[in-house]
Structure 1
């Protein structure tokens, strides 16, 4: 059974909630799902998943949440080759912050692509000013993403 790892970067639990809500959709599509609340680079490189999903909140002025900082720092410092990585990205933010809206998700996306990873489809950016519960936007996006990217294996 192919493996999906969901890498979570969250400050107040919103991104974790999204990860927990979308996991059953991937299980139904035939994946063994792991949700990583304290992700490390080894989770990505030592035992690479068949597919990765990043659920990432933005804090402050476009910053990574505290639990995700070590992962991002290690990714930046070690610069591993990620040409085999296929991933999706759900970025959570607040458009009232202007230019830094979804800054952590956008920055991670650039980092991953710079290391050779392939994002499948478009990045989902969820605006807290428009969507109170992020999973209201994430669930239909994941359903469509699985279908459009032909990710069903079951």
Structure 2
């Protein structure tokens, strides 16, 4: 069975909630799903990753949540080739922080692409000022993403 790994960066649980809410959509598409809420680089590299979804909130002035910083530090230090990695990205932010809106998601996207990973489709940016429950935006986006990217497993 194909595996999708969902890597979560969260401070207060919103991004983890999104990951848990979209999990059944991937299962219905034929994937086994693994959610990493304390992700490490080994989680990404040690077993083949058919597909990854990164779901992260932004803290402070565009900073990464603490639970994601270890993995990111490892990514920057090791700088592995990720040319085989296909991924999607859901960034949670608050547009009242104009200069840093979804800053963690945008920076993660840039890092992954710099290591050769291929983002499938557009990044979803969810604004807390417009969407009270992030999964209200994430669920339809993931449904469309799976269909448009033809990610269903036969």
Query: TM-score, length-normalised on structure 1?
Result: 0.99
- Aligned pairs for 1:133-148 (under 5 A) are 133-148=133-148
Note the alpha carbon deviations across 1:5-45, whole angstroms, 9 max, x for none.
00000000000000000000000000000000100001111
Confirm whether residue 101 of structure 1 aligns to residue 101 of structure 2.
yes
Paired with 1:91 and 1:106, the residues of 2 have a C-alpha distance of 7
**Which runs of 5 or more structure 1 residues have no equivalent in the other structure?**
none
Q: After the TM superposition, list the runs of 4 or more consecutive aligned residues in structure 1 that deviate by more than 3 angstroms.
A: none
- 5 Å-filtered alignment, 1:3-152, equals 3-152=3-152
Alpha-carbon RMSD: 0.5
Other structure's SS at 2:97 match: helix
Aligned length: 154
The alignment's TM-score, normalised by the length of structure 2, stands at 0.99
